[in-house]
Structure 1
């Protein structure tokens, strides 16, 4: 069966190379199906259908692409697949997978990540325990490559004294968490804590070498850090009421 082509379709001529259909199909007096095609040079010529072959259109979307459909956000999980029509498998923001017609999808190109942005870590080689954690970006042009993968982002993680180099992050809307993690315990920086001797400590709002400082007296310039107090006078118990 002779393949049918449409006006505007990209095709390959068996001698002349890539071309575009500009007219046809039509049948000549000998019953042959012909087309007029425009070559890369701009010249048009007549070609029989058996001289042409279709150039496959590249997929509209790739796995991992962010898309929207009627205002809702999705991620392409798989596809394209061919049935009666072309379709993809997509995942919504709640992790629910479903099928989608590509004609209902629009590519969603988020704004580039900037220093100061709040993000969630998606991929960080040798730091998989940080996947899913949030923080603030302080560098977007790091010269760091791990296992052959560029890690351009450095993220100061919420509630931790250090950061992580990440190869992939996504923006988040929530504000920075007012917490700090030490020795497996997460401390609420807006709360007060009682040590093993009964003394009550509150956070000063300042830090020493990125570690929050605490005070018993209300002195905001106190040099004691939460790590020092927890290590020497812990365990610390949150004061309620």
Structure 2
């Protein structure tokens, strides 16, 4: 999965110490980092300011600041823990003291290798983003709610979500996802499907630009995309994607 970085992002990277800067350009292929994807980064800690070519694999987006008792994932250790002190600086490196779960150990840990715990195993979560490397399958899971069954802090896609009893990659199965959000027990969001940022509720009628009425009852096609019920038999069974692209935008009729 490609890291989501853009011009203007504040980032941190390792070069003897943790360095901070702002992305000026990229990504681009660079011989300076052995042909890897790279970014041009303007350093924040040098005077006068210096720009660096930094490999994408060694760069992380800044912005996460932790407080005492925050739950975190240590990407180097592959485990979770709790912040007990920090941040503080050691030889120019931003650090925290982390109490590791299941161990009687408090470990000094670089800030750059810590990530916020968004959910715990067993929580109900909504899939925000699947795996960019497999977009066709990932689209079947984005917007769905399931159970978080495994976390891989070091992986490019960290969260394994179980939607139903199906096999891995099946629409009612499980899938490794890049981003999830915890769903509270009293979450009132109805059953439905999210497509390009718009949520379509099952059992609700929608009016298209030509005056046709569409309803989605939760029936899926082989690709895991909802199919429509239409008053026009020639249009019955069209996928939500086809309906939105060819006849949208769709306006909700009933509440």
TM-score range relative to shorter protein: 0.3 to 0.5
Structure with larger RCO (C-alpha < 8 A, sep 6+): 2
TM-score by length of 1: 0.37
